[in-house]
């Protein structure tokens, strides 16, 4: 089935991925490409959106797209920088704002007779983020909307299906932004809303059958959402010719290795569990530097995975759980290389001696879409809702060197924390949670005895994609009970703290 596709030309905006996600929420397929790498098959795209940019159209570093095959030929929506670009280089004028126009604003004028604004009311809140402003509209432009501070907030070009807006419809703060995108894509560009999880599953399974035929494929399962959904798609396509390997690096959550392995086997997957925990812990002995720990884990994973893959006769493909943000982030909006293959998040790079072709069934999906695809295949909700977990596991949540005793302590602490989040019905409202073992001892008193034991930090954040995150304001009663339970049950811990840092400036993980 050939879907309608929307081409999003990226000028380096921090919001470009949001545009793509909002379009896809309308069940319309969208793709992001750098502004200077317009696809040769431009005829396959039914509409085009120009993103914002940190650059100024007035500067010597202004970014110039080739719109010769787009403008006047296809429905075009220009957002922020795109709107200024069309004005500045098409007979209008863009000048510096007297003040930086940033944050919430309300539409003071709307031309609701135009189909673009037909469902948007005067007073609708929009989000501004720009330091230039459009003083004079381009040739043949008609004003469609204004705010109190920005007269030329939206316009269209007569004789074309070209629309331009100075604000960002893709961000949450533009309350009618999704409706505006729907007006443009459905009512003006006449795109069908047929990009659904069910259609993705059907088409991807058929594509995998055509691509792989009777070839054998090996896949490293991590217990996470991406690799699990990728495995189910491949299993639907090639069945027993998919060979899954689930490696225990000794740094998983408490009892997770066996429980996840049992879950995979219950899903009908052809999976082999490999307990290499001793091998990983030996390689980590004495290492404290976070990067050295990551490299050691990556190296051992490659060795273990390669040993297992070589036991499968005539395997030709390596499957990876690469998702769309990984592909996008390997593309530069300012003229960098085109999309490159992501290194497997557990492998850390495919070794030269493993000569396999790559298959990536999820490379067109965002994380939330991966979950919806999994749900359409009736996968376990607990598996699909599992929090992200770092590839190096607890190694980067144990600050300093790694020992079996430290792993035991952190597994016990983490289990109390995660179990309590689930008991208190807080787990699903948290994007990621975990415990960190700090490289300090502190004085405490238990009974009549003085103790000098470990301190642990608890971390819980809310986010949509991990790029930014806020700490979660967990109830004091929950923190009190969880802290008491950790200190009473986990031998070696006498102090618990809660991390209230957001990202940025902090990161989600401590290493």
Residue 27: other Cβ atoms inside 10 A:
17
Helices (H), 439-494: 476-489
Q: In Å, how far from its chain's centre is CA 203?
A: 23
Cα torsion 247, 253, 254, 257 to 10°: value is -20
SS3 at position 274: strand
Rounded to whole angstroms, how far apart are CA atoms 179 and 191?
14
Would residue 492 be called left, alpha or beta, if left means φ above 0 and alpha means ψ between -120 and 50 degrees? left
**Which residues fall within 8 angstroms of residue 307, CB to CB, at 6 or more apart?**
none
Rounded to whole angstroms, how far apart are CA atoms 238 and 206?
10
Q: Say whether 462 is catalytic.
A: no
For the record, the structure tokens of 115 come out as: 């189909």
The answer to whether 459 touches 500, Cβ cutoff 8 Å, is: no
Q: Say whether 168 is catalytic.
A: yes
Residue 476: other Cβ atoms inside 10 A:
9
Q: In Å, how far from its chain's centre is CA 493?
A: 34
Rounded to whole angstroms, how far apart are CA atoms 396 and 258?
22
Cα torsion 221, 226, 229, 230 to 10°: value is -70
For the record, the structure tokens of 259 come out as: 């429980």
Out of 3, 88, 130, 170, pick the active-site residue.
Answer: 170
Rounded to whole angstroms, how far apart are CA atoms 487 and 505?
30
Q: Say whether 170 is catalytic.
A: yes
Q: In Å, how far from its chain's centre is CA 400?
A: 29
Q: CA dist 270 to 114, 215, 234, 302, Å?
A: 56, 15, 11, 20
Q: Label each residue of 159-175 as H, E or C.
A: CCCEEEECCCCCCCCCC
For the record, the structure tokens of 379 come out as: 């996968």
Q: Which residue matches tokens 């208190």?
A: 424
For the record, the structure tokens of 464 come out as: 């949509």
Out of 80, 182, 244, 412, pick the active-site residue.
Answer: 80
Out of 33, 88, 130, 168, pick the active-site residue.
Answer: 168
Rg (CA), the chain: 26
The answer to whether 436 touches 417, Cβ cutoff 8 Å, is: no
Burial of 291 (0-12, 13-18, 19+ CB in 10 A): exposed
As annotated, the active-site residues are 80, 168, 170
């Amino acid at each position: 089935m050939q879907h309608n596709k929307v081409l999003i030309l990226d000028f380096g905006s921090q919001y470009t991925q949001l545009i793509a996600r909002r379009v896809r929420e309308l069940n319309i397929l969208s793709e992001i490409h750098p502004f200077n790498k317009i696809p040769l098959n431009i005829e396959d795209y039914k509409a085009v959106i120009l993103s914002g940019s940190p650059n100024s159209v007035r500067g010597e570093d202004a970014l110039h797209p080739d719109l010769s095959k787009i403008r006047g030929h296809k429905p075009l929506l220009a957002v922020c920088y795109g709107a200024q670009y069309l004005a500045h280089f098409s007979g209008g004028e863009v000048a510096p704002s007297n003040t930086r126009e940033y944050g919430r604003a309300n539409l003071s004028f709307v031309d609701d007779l135009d189909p673009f604004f037909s469902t948007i009311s005067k007073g609708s809140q929009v989000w501004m983020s720009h330091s230039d402003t459009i003083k004079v509209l381009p040739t043949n432009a008609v004003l469609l909307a204004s705010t109190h501070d920005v007269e030329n907030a939206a316009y269209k070009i007569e004789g074309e299906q070209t629309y331009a807006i100075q604000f960002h419809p893709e961000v949450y703060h533009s309350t009618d932004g999704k409706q505006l995108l729907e007006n443009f894509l459905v009512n003006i560009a006449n795109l069908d809303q047929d990009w659904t999880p069910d259609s993705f599953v059907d088409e991807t399974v058929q594509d995998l059958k055509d691509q792989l035929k009777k070839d054998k494929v090996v896949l490293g399962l991590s217990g996470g959402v991406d690799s699990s959904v990728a495995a189910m798609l491949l299993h639907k396509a090639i069945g027993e010719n998919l060979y899954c390997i689930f490696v225990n690096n000794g740094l998983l959550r408490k009892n997770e290795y066996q429980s996840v392995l049992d879950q995979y086997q219950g899903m009908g997957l052809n999976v082999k569990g490999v307990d290499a925990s001793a091998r990983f812990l030996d390689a980590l002995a004495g290492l404290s530097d976070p990067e050295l720990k990551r490299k050691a884990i990556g190296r051992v994973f490659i060795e273990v995975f390669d040993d297992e893959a070589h036991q499968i006769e005539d395997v030709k493909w390596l499957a990876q759980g690469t998702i769309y943000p990984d592909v996008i982030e390997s593309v530069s909006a300012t003229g960098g290389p085109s999309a490159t293959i992501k290194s497997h998040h557990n492998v850390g790079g495919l070794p030269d001696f493993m000569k396999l072709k790559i298959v990536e069934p999820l490379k067109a999906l965002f994380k939330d879409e991966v979950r919806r695809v999994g749900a359409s295949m009736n996968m376990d909700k607990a598996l699909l809702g599992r929090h992200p977990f770092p590839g190096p596991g607890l190694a980067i949540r144990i600050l300093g060197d790694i020992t079996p005793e430290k792993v035991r302590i952190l597994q016990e602490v983490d289990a109390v924390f995660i179990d309590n989040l689930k008991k208190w019905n807080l787990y699903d409202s948290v994007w990621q949670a975990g415990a960190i073992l700090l490289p300090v001892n502190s004085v405490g008193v238990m009974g009549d005895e003085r103790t000098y034991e470990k301190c642990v930090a608890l971390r819980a954040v809310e986010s949509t994609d991990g790029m930014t995150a806020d700490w979660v304001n967990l109830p004091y009663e929950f923190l009190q009970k969880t802290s008491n339970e950790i200190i009473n049950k986990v031998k070696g811990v006498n102090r618990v703290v809660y991390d209230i840092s957001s990202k940025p400036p902090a990161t989600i993980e401590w290493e």
